[in-house]
Structures are given as C-alpha cells and as structure tokens.
Amino acid sequence: MVNAVNSQQWRALFAAQAGYMLDAMDVLLYVFALNTLRTEFHLSNSEAGLVSSITLICSALGGIAAGILADRFGRTRLLAATILFYSLASGGTALSSGLGGLIFWRGLVGFGLGGEWSAGAVLVAETWPAKHRAKAISFMQAGWALGYLLAAGVTAVVLPRFGWRALFLTGLLPALLALAVQRGVAEPKVWLERTRIAGGPGFGSIFRPPLRRRTVLATLLTTSVLFAYWGLFTWLPGFLSAPRAAGGAGLSILRTSAALVPMQIGAFVGYVSFGWIADRFGRRATFVAYMLMAAILTPIYGFARSESTLVLLGPLIGFFGSGYFSLFGAMLAEIYPSSIRGAAQGFTYNFGRGLSALAPFLVGALADRNGIGAALAVNSAFFLTGAILIFTIPKIDEIGAESVLPPAPHVRIQS
C-alpha cells in the first residue's frame, strides 16, 4: 500500500483524518461534560439529549450544504473552512448560560461536523486509487476513535481542575489545522478535470432515475446505523457515570474516562481493519457481521454493572459498534459521478444523520423512565435494520473493483 501512493495522497488522507479526529473531539466534549452540564443548568435527560439531537440536525444541514459547496469550490477549501467553523463554535460553547446557549453553540458545532465529513471523505475517495480506497477511508474514519480518546483525555485533565468552560475553550485549538490544510493539500485531479467540462447533471439528478432508487436506499441505510450509533455512544459516558439507582454504572469521571479508553482503542482497530477484512470477505458480508455483533453486544453492555465486565466488553462495543462506518466513504463516493459526488455523498450520509437526531432524545426519554442502561438496548433494533438494508444496495463488492472513480460529469449509473 505504501509504495502504491504518492506524498500528495498521504497528505490528503492525514489532513482528512486529523480534521475528523479534532471534529470528534470538539463534538464529544459535550458528551463527556454531560452530567456536569445537567447539574449546572438543572437539565433533565431528555433536555440534555435534545442538545445532542440539535447538533445532529445541524450536522445534516451542514453536511448537505458542504457537499454542494465542495462540488463548486473544491474539496480542500471546504475541508479547511469546516475545521475553522467547528473550532470557533466549540470554543463559543464556553459562553453558554443555559439550555438555549447550549443549543445555539452545539448547533453551530453540528454544521461543522457534517461539513467536515462530507469534504474530507470525498477528498480521500477522489485522491486514492480504487485498490486502496476502502483502506484509506478506514484510516480517515479511524480519526473519530482517536478524537474520542482525545476528548476523554482532555476531559480527565481539564474538567475536574478548571471546569466545563475551560474544557470547551480547548476546542479552539483545531483552528490551527485549517491553515495547514489550506496550504499543504491540493485539490484532487478528478475534481480539477471536472471543473474544465461545462454542463453535467446537477444536484437534483440524485432524486431522478437512474440514481433515485440508489439515493433512497443509501439514505435509509445510513439513517438506521447512524440512529444506532448516536443512540448508543451519546449516552455511554452518561451511562458509565450515572448512579446505579438511575440505571447507570456509577463510575467517577476519571474511571469513566478510563473505561472508555479500551472501548475507543477497539473502535480504532474496527475502523482501520474494516477495509482489509472487507477486501478479504467482501464489503457486504463484513458489514453484516459488524451489525449483528453490535446488536448482540449492546443490550449485554447496557445491563452490565460490574466495572470489570464493562471494561472487558468495551473494546468489542467499540470495534463492532463503530468500525462499519468505514464502508460509507468509499461506497457512497463510488456510486455517483464526480460532478455531483460531494453533494450526493453529503446528502445520503447527512440526511440520515439528521433523521438520527431523534436517537439521543429518544434514549434520554426512555432513560427518564427505565434508566440509562435499559434505554441503550433499543439501539439493537437499528443495528439489525442496517444488516437487512445493506442487501438492497447493489454491487457493493463489484464497485470496489473499479480502477478509477467516474471522472466525467455525464456518467450514468444504472441501478
């Protein structure tokens, strides 16, 4: 793999991965500060979940908008812009004085979250050759697990000593990466060539034959798995630190962060290994295996109370509950032509993310009635739905064998 790609491809990959890592850190600072903020502003579980839901709704809008803008102005430019945007919004969260302030600033963070993934994923997909595309996307997606670990570490150091406002101010640091991205990463040749060709299908073509059916099915698939992911991982730190009387595990902030470290190490391995496993056994089969294992493990984890059991199951939850996302960056890019790739990939993934915004609120509402641990089990149904829906997406494994992405704007893809 190392000898098959050049330095520019590596720079694009590392820029997208670093952007996604710091994006995850900024988004997850709220998750780790959740119980502190609930106490500070006297929030119920459903209100706290509503903030995360607003973040996801805004991330959907930001991702769709960034995909369209990336097709027009370039992948690298949008990647740098979104990194700068979510950094400033994360730092602004420190100014919050109640639920309204949290909703406002975390909504802005959401715009950056969705936009960064849309720009970064299509940048990597168009820069790397098909032979290594799934592996490259896996590395980019692994940035989320690194960001989760970074958020856990920053929270453990900053929150107990300096408070939650100082914690969110650390979210300003990723803004420095935006400058490096803008100066060091070139636009993909596929996008540059496309801009020299007039005409081509517009954004609306993804809703018309022959692409309409594929757009609908891909959106349903992303919705199901994103619902399961956000319903599970938004509440995991809260579950671990909540009192046992409230259905939680009753761990301290430091022990909660420590318990999440092996989980995110497992997630990192899951992300990175997905491309290799999929190359060996096929993308669809690998995806289904991840879905089924996540569906089985989630309720077991939610009802566990022994700290040793939680630590033991954590890496497996991380591996199977996260790693499957490495499929989407490659798959969604390969089923659309370059002229609408950013917009199509941004829509199918981020519209699903917007619908999944109900997940944190739903789990929070169920937690108010039945405890957080029991509420987590509902996510298994959405993992199982994802395992079924993957069979509706045609030619997943065959698409990966293409030597290049379709460079011309007039390419027609039969459903």
The domains found in the chain, sorted by start residue, are 7-399 (1.20.1250.20)
How confident is the model over 253-267, as pLDDT tens digits? 677 767 878 888 999
pLDDT of 93 = 95
Give which of 362, 350, 232, 234 is closest to 302, Cα–Cα.
232
- Alpha-carbon gap, residue 388 to 174, rounded angstroms: 38
pLDDT of 253 = 64
Q: How far is CA 54 from CA 104, 109, 372, 375, 377, in A?
A: 9, 10, 20, 20, 22
Give which of 384, 271, 383, 280 is closest to 325, Cα–Cα.
271
Q: Give how far the C-alpha of residue 354 lies from the chain's centroid of Cα atoms, to the nearest Å.
A: 12
pLDDT of 411 = 36
pLDDT of 407 = 39
pLDDT of 194 = 65
Give which of 342, 379, 294 is closest to 70, Cα–Cα.
342
- Alpha-carbon gap, residue 397 to 278, rounded angstroms: 9
For the chain, list residues with pLDDT below 70: 1-4, 194-201, 247, 253, 257, 397-415
How confident is the model over 136-157, as pLDDT tens digits? 888 998 988 889 889 988 998 9
Give which of 116, 152, 102, 126 is closest to 256, Cα–Cα.
152
Q: Nearest-5° angle of CA 91, CA 82, CA 94?
A: 10
- Alpha-carbon gap, residue 295 to 102, rounded angstroms: 32
pLDDT of 228 = 92
pLDDT of 101 = 95
Q: How far is CA 308 from CA 36, 249, 311, 377, in A?
A: 25, 11, 5, 20
pLDDT of 361 = 80
Tell whether the torsion through CA atoms of 268, 387, 231 and 255 is positive or negative.
negative
pTM of the model: 0.77
pLDDT of 197 = 47
| Cβ contact 181:57 at 8 Å | no
pLDDT of 266 = 93
pLDDT of 186 = 85
Q: Nearest-5° angle of CA 240, CA 243, CA 249?
A: 35
- Alpha-carbon gap, residue 239 to 246, rounded angstroms: 9
- Alpha-carbon gap, residue 48 to 361, rounded angstroms: 8
